[in-house]
Homo-oligomer: A and B are copies of this chain.
Amino acid sequence: MITPNCDVKAKFMRGFSEKTRLQILDAIRHEEKTVSQIVDELKGNQSNISQHLACLKGCGIIVSRQEGKFIYYSLRNHHIIELLNVLDVVFNEVEREVAACEKNDELDGCTRK
């Protein structure tokens, strides 16, 4: 309602719209982790992960705290955790539905042909 600021909301949502970022969120879902832990776990590139962490932080999805030379990242608060849970449920439902009901070729979203 009230014509929400879709611009800001879109930026917030963009945090969840990329594979690596989703994997990061999954990795720190239940416990905070350091950058190198995440890098190891995802077998990713340090620079790349670092950039995605910055993105997620900028989106307000995660927070960080420093401890010595380590920086721990975790989900911002319980709202985000709940959101991830709801997302999973909804996604599973929709995935099933889309996969099952529709012979419809394109699950592929907006990609160009």
Contacts and interface: CB of A to CB of B under 8 A. Distances in A.
Nearest to A20: B6
Nearest to A7: B19
A43 interface: no
Q: What number of copies of this chain does the assembly contain?
A: 2
A109 B55 contact: yes
Contacts of A110: 14, 51-52, 54-55, 58-59
Interface residues of A, number: 52
Contact of A58 (B16, B54, B76, B108): B108
A22 B9 contact: yes
Given A60-B94, A79-B94, A109-B55, A19 B4 contact: no
Contacts of A82: 86, 90
